[in-house]
Amino acid sequence: MIYRELPREEFEDLASRILYEDNHLLVVNKRVGEIVQGDKTSDEPLTEAYKAFIAQRDAKPGQVFMGLPHRLDRPVSGIVVLAKTSKALERLNAMFRDSDVQKYYWALVCGAPSPVEGHLEDMMWRNEKQNKSYICRPGQRRKDAKLAKLNYRLIDKTERYWLVEVELLTGRHHQIRCQLSNLGCPIKGDLKYGAPRSNPDGGISLHARRITFVHPVKKEPMTIEAPIPSSWKGIKA
């Protein structure tokens, strides 16, 4: 397998965003606008970029294994866990499926949450054509609706926005975006779910901030945190 040669600037950028690495795992800080796996666009996914990076850094002549046990949407930034071995991928797939991974997100929102912390449970359904999720209205029953659960708490505020930490308990399509919007707190830049204006970078101010899990091979407890984007003005973290 021949991977493309990365220019020095791109190589150094990818290296700078590695949050953790060993023989089994690679944990990186995704930027807004990057895709984590191939889609209908011709853009290179993060998995392929890091395959090329490892091949170049380690002078690997053969194929580089890079498995993806979970995903982040294109407009979202933050922690992405990649598997460097098939054993790690198989175990991580099971851990994410069985909710054995604790995931915490930070969101800059356009309204003050009330109450300032709480637990949300909603039945949500996805409109495939619109690529958008909806919460069932009171009394509405749909066979395709699924239970969505999260915890949230207000942790900071700026002059115009509120910083909310979300502990994601289920993994539904656009779950955080939809449930926070329903609370009256659309995420900054998220036009699809009610934000008044877009962000300059085309993304939304939702960041996979922290992840806690047991290493799939070493069986050691791990907590990994990703620095927030530099565009988040007024937030100290």
- Domain limits of the chain? 8-101
- Structure confidence at residue 236 (pLDDT): 67
- List the catalytic residues: 73
Q: CATH code for 8-101?
A: 3.30.2350.10
**Cα–Cα distance, 46 to 67 (Å, whole number):** 11
Amino acid 204 reads I
Q: What is the token pair recorded at 84?
A: 């460097």
Could you read off the pLDDT of 173-205 as tens digits, one per residue? 999 999 999 999 999 999 999 999 999 999 999
Could you read off the pLDDT of 129-155 as tens digits, one per residue? 999 999 999 888 899 999 999 999 999
Q: Are 58 and 100 in contact (CB under 8 A)?
A: no
Q: Are 203 and 77 in contact (CB under 8 A)?
A: yes
